[in-house]
Amino acid sequence: ERTPLNTTEDLNKHYFWDACIIACEAVINFAKRHAELAREMMKNEKNKERKKELEKIAEICSKVPENPANSFYEALQSLWFIHLCIEIENNSFGYSLGRMDQYLYPFYKKGIDEGEITREKAAELLACLWLKFNTIHWITRHSIAAITQTSNFQNVTIGGRDNKGRDASNELSHLIVEVDTALKLPQPTLSLRYHDCINEAFLFKCAEDIATGGGKPAIFCENYAYSVLPLYEVPLEDVIEFAPIGCVEMGIPGKTALFAGCFISLPHCLELVFTNGIHRKTGKKIGIETGEIERFPRFNDFINAFFKQFEFVHHIIVSYFKISQVAIRPYFVPCPFNSSLISDCITKGKDLHSGGARYNHFFASYPVGMVTTANSLYAVKKLVYEEKNISMKELKEALEKNFEGEFKKIRKICLEVPKYGNDIDEVDDMLRDLFKEISEIVMKEKNAFNHPIAPAYLGVTAHYFHGIGCGATPDGRLAYTPFADGSLSAYPGTDKNGPTALIKSATKANTSPAVATLFNIKLNPSIFKSAEGMRKFLSLVKTYSDLGGYHIQFNVIDKKTLLEAKKYPERHRDLLIRVAGFSAYFVDLSPTVQDEIIARTEHNF
């Protein structure tokens, strides 16, 4: 039945559907051009084996993605064409591949059972796909490239449970980890869905990959996702299929429109309280007047002024993003091919960027500097309001002077105040309260599709780039230096009571309803050299999950190696490390980001 063309909405649907057809036909033609090229190359190929390969390539590229795949090779080729064309259409980052070990497993099992493919050949094809992921580069502004360190966040998810609650890992899950371990490539990001009944052999294999130092796979605890996603009206049958999208954000593959938000510096908002709305570095008024800092008689007055500054800044940023959602994205960056693959876009006759997806809930804002802010708020509460070791006027002057000269003694006092990451309830409670209040403020706002904004605490490397624009903070941090990374990672050098204390602090934060948190821990490689060390590591992960954590990732590297790699990069070209929600070659990072990673606390058991 044809849709009547009586209204503007009818016309828009018609144009959208036409665009989807044109885009899909273009992708089919794109694949067939590869088939033609392979046939052309065959004419001059002398090597029999290579000629056979080209013949197979031509055969498969003639078939997929126009037709359903029937073999593992065809499924991988179809997946690659579709993924590549989404990347070409959008020129952006975060396009992730969901639960690859689940949807590819039937093809793998059929091929193995019927003798069509060997395990070794399947590994070779996967390795080729991994190499192709690393050929994708996107064009963007220098500022965005700096924050992402040029990563494009192609996330592959493995593990998890099935719809009956059973462990879903399989032979392909194992093979994916083996290929990732062997290749040591930055892309794709690998994410493990961790749960209570995870297969021990599979978990051990993932731990062996982590032990190589590339920070993969990152670990995502299912219990947290199962408790949070229903808050966004996601039914259980879809929650079961959740996978990290991009960095660490939750999404439902094939059904979600994930709109990246804006990084908002919380320490800057705190600075605005001390300056009554003035940006200290530029002298410009960017906040609201919350009053002279010396006139806050109680800590509650002080912290409420901070929340007002954040709410003001957040509202402005969300307003701009609403404009981009309504007036820019649908008209200037439509994505008919991607939309044709996302549930409900075709039914609604709406582009992904116009609210066509089933879930448009995950437009997020990204508050940055949570731990630096919590440590600072606790320092103000303790030093100014409780112990009265210093006055607010003295603290304000010390921050303005960057703790220099006569104010060095005040910095010493600030640094001595207990910090997050040491299992100290008072400090950890400050971070918990900060998460709660910031999330409530964020969710007061709605996106252009009338859903509450989802709080997402990830940061990427924004902790560095916001940090170098922010003055000194009451925790003793000097001006124009990085904040604590992620959202639950301790400030470098302040987590002194070991990794167990650190994860206990992190899980006290009670970050729900956040759809993303980011937690980095650096471990000494010696941990993984004994069965006892491996057991303790796996016990640490289990404890984090049991206590209600969401995401955790590990850098397994020692400071000596990092310092040597910085000094002699040519000797360490393949040194893969975890930065934020992605891995990268250490020598390719900017020197300042390298320094921040070197400074992170190195834990041992």
Side chain identity at residue 584, one-letter code: A
**Where do the DSSP E strands lie in 318-395?**
364-368
Pairing of strands 189-194, 218-221: parallel
> 159 in the Ramachandran plot: left (φ > 0), alpha (ψ -120 to 50) or beta?
left
**405: β partners:** none
Side chain identity at residue 150, one-letter code: T
Calculate ∠ Cα 198-550-379, nearest 5°: 145
Q: What burial letters (b/e) apply to 298-335, b meaning 16+ CB within 10 Å?
A: eeeebbebbbbbbbbbbeebbeebbebbbeebbeeebb
Q: At what angle do helices 531-546 and 200-209 cross, to 10 degrees?
A: 110
Q: How many Cβ atoms from other residues are within 10 Å of residue 47's Cβ?
A: 9
Q: Which residues contact 194 (CB under 8 A, 6 or more apart)?
A: 159, 203, 219, 220, 221, 222, 541, 545
Pairing of strands 602-603, 551-556: unpaired
Nearest to 520 by CA among 602, 434, 455, 427: 602
Nearest to 586 by CA among 77, 139, 595, 94: 595
Q: How many Cβ atoms from other residues are within 10 Å of residue 518's Cβ?
A: 27
Sole residue written with tokens 């879809």:
238
Query: So which residues are the catalytic ones?
Result: 247, 249
Calculate ∠ Cα 283-284-286, nearest 5°: 130
- Report the first-to-last Cα separation within the chain, whole angstroms: 67
Yes or no: say if 194 and 545 are a contact pair by the CB < 8 Å rule: yes
Q: At what angle do helices 105-113 and 72-90 cross, to 10 degrees?
A: 160
3-state secondary structure of 278: strand
Pairwise CA distance, residues 538 & 580, whole Å: 21
Pairwise CA distance, residues 216 & 191, whole Å: 7
Pairwise CA distance, residues 486 & 521, whole Å: 10
What's the Rg (C-alpha) of the chain?
Answer: 25
CA distances 55 to 426, 511, 594, 597, Å, are: 67, 53, 46, 47
Calculate ∠ Cα 187-189-193, nearest 5°: 155
Yes or no: say if 238 and 252 are a contact pair by the CB < 8 Å rule: yes
Pairwise CA distance, residues 517 & 268, whole Å: 20
